[in-house]
Amino acid sequence: MDKEAWWQKVANNPHMMWCLQVASMGVDELARAGLIPWSEYDRATKIIAEEIFIRMVANDLPPPGRP
């Protein structure tokens, strides 16, 4: 399955929607700090949301009491 097909499959998943919201907050802060250009906002948001989503699915969560 290619990446675009995967995104279409998970686009309406409530967990992915949450991941996109969280990722957008992080990317906003990175862009405000000048660490990434604003022109890469959408691309960076998708990349970070995908990472969060996959870690949730794989149950790869930080230990209790750690960020």
Can you tell me the mean pLDDT for 4-32? Answer: 87
62, pLDDT greater than 80: no
Residue 52 lies in a domain: yes
Eight-state DSSP code of residue 67: -
What is the percent of the chain where pLDDT is above 70?
A: 96
Residue 44 lies in a domain: yes
| Arithmetic mean of pLDDT over the chain | 86
User: What is the pLDDT at residue 66?
Assistant: 64
Residue 41 lies in a domain: yes
Between the alpha carbon of residue 28 and those of residues 25, 60, 66, the distances in Å are 5, 24, 23
How many structural domains are present in the chain? 1
Q: What is the pTM of this model?
A: 0.77
Residue 47 lies in a domain: yes
Can you tell me the mean pLDDT for 22-47? Answer: 95
Range of the domain at 52: 12-57
